[in-house]
């Protein structure tokens, strides 16, 4: 299944800021103001944009968090655990920065976007190197636990191609 689709349909806790219309069996009813509930992320984004809700348990990304992730990755020889949805949230963060830059193109926003891209490039490079080391490792099972969902897909693909390539160049064991 598509990871982005799964993530956008994941439930997130929100609080209504005003009554929200709901259509049920040919009638319209309204939710109460200050109702705390869980709804899919995609719906929360739309309602937040229209100032109808506030998101209560949103995990935000910023340069300080990215710097922390990068520092941990640089200073440890093993792959460091990351939140499963980190790459999706980084992508969303960059998309939001791009929207803000289109509306209000400030130097600070442009620099933040470039720094974020630089952090991501460095983080991906460090993590890819470590993933490649896992592919060649004998005891993979323990190391795989630190992979995000996206990295597991990459790992499986690399491992599959590596094993296929190895079987083609090495003699068969009889």
- Give the pTM: 0.72
On whether the CB atoms of residues 23 and 7 are closer than 8 A, the answer is no
pLDDT of residue 110: 94
pLDDT of residue 173: 60
- Rounded CA-CA distance 72/83 in Å is 14
CB neighbourhood size of 25 (10 A): 5
| DSSP 8-class letter at 82 | -
pLDDT of residue 170: 67
Extended strands (E) in 17-109: 21-24, 27-30, 36-40, 53-55
* Alpha carbon 171 to its chain's center: 41
pLDDT of residue 105: 92
pLDDT of residue 171: 64
Q: What is the pLDDT along the chain (174 residues), one digit of tens a residue?
A: 588 888 889 999 999 998 888 777 777 778 888 889 898 999 998 998 899 899 987 788 888 999 999 999 999 998 899 988 888 888 888 988 999 999 999 999 999 999 999 999 999 999 999 988 888 877 777 677 888 888 888 888 988 888 888 777 766 664
pLDDT of residue 143: 74
pLDDT of residue 100: 92
- Domains contained in the chain, CATH given: 3-55 (3.40.5), 63-169 (1.20.58.2050)
On whether the CB atoms of residues 109 and 133 are closer than 8 A, the answer is no
pLDDT of residue 15: 92
pLDDT of residue 74: 95
């Amino acid at each position: 299944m598509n990871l982005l689709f799964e993530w956008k349909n994941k439930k997130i806790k929100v609080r209504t800021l005003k009554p929200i219309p709901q259509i049920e069996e040919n009638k319209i009813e309204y939710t109460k103001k200050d109702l705390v509930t869980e709804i899919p992320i995609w719906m929360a984004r739309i309602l937040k944009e229209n100032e109808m809700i506030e998101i209560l348990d949103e995990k935000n990304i910023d340069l300080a968090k990215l710097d922390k992730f990068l520092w941990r990755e640089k200073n440890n020889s093993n792959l460091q655990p990351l939140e499963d949805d980190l790459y999706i949230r980084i992508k969303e963060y960059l998309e939001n920065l791009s929207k803000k830059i289109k509306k209000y193109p400030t130097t600070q926003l442009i620099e933040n976007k470039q720094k974020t891209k630089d952090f991501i490039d460095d983080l991906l490079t460090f993590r890819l190197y470590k993933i490649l080391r896992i592919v060649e490792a004998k005891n993979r099972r323990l190391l795989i636990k630190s992979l995000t969902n996206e990295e597991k897909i990459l790992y499986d693909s690399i491992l599959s191609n590596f094993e296929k390539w190895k079987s083609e160049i090495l003699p068969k064991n009889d």
